A = this chain, B = another copy of it.
Amino acid sequence: MAQQQAQVKFTAVKPQLMVKTPKAVDAVNFYKSAFGAAEAGRSACCPPPTAEQNLPNILCAQLELAGCSFVVYNDDSAPYDLHLFLSLLSIFIEEEKIEGIGNQLCLETDDVEAAISKAVSAGAVVEGEVTEGGGACCGGRVGKVKDPYGYVWLICSPSNKCGPVEA
């Protein structure tokens, strides 16, 4: 058993971003123009709807960026508007805490300001100032943009300040 488990190999780590139907195609185009992501493939038929499901517009697209992949998908089974839902949440918890739910995506680049500018040109909104050593990226300059689909992206300079691994 232990021997079998030791053989488990993962070939990819892919963040998956759910986007409200029918905005998935827009989102794919946004991530291309804002971040320079390349589309590796898309499907309009996964998963095949089962008898108890009614999912006519499922689309998932795989995007590649900086040697990693992420997936954009929409899901008619999600009945709510993410922005409206987050607004409702803010009744119960301050807005800035909401980002801690789930995970954020950090993009590393040598030119944080140019990257933010390009993302804003594509439709993202800047969140706060670019700070030095802030965020959870282990150092460097860190800015934030929120994309039109509700996701916050950290734009960071490379994390070369991480300390050595402790024993």
Contacts and interface: CB of A to CB of B under 8 A. Distances in A.
Contacts of A44: 163
A36 interface: yes
Interface in A73-89: 73, 75, 77-80, 82, 85-86, 88-89
A164 B40 CA distance: 8
A43 B139 contact: yes
A163 to B, nearest CB: 5
Given A60-B136, A101-B85, A107-B10, A42 B78 contact: no
Contacts of A109: 8-11
A146 interface: no
Interface in A1-34: 1, 4-5, 7-18
Interface in A89-119: 89, 92-93, 97, 100-111, 114-115, 117-118
21 contacts: A8-B115, A8-B118, A9-B109, A10-B109, A11-B158, A14-B107, A15-B104, A15-B105, A16-B106, A16-B154, A18-B100, A41-B163, A42-B163, A44-B163, A46-B137, A47-B135, A60-B138, A62-B138, A82-B100, A101-B102, A103-B151
Given A13-B65, A47-B134, 12 more contacts: A1-B117, A4-B114, A8-B36, A8-B109, A12-B108, A16-B106, A47-B133, A60-B136, A62-B138, A67-B67, A79-B97, A102-B103
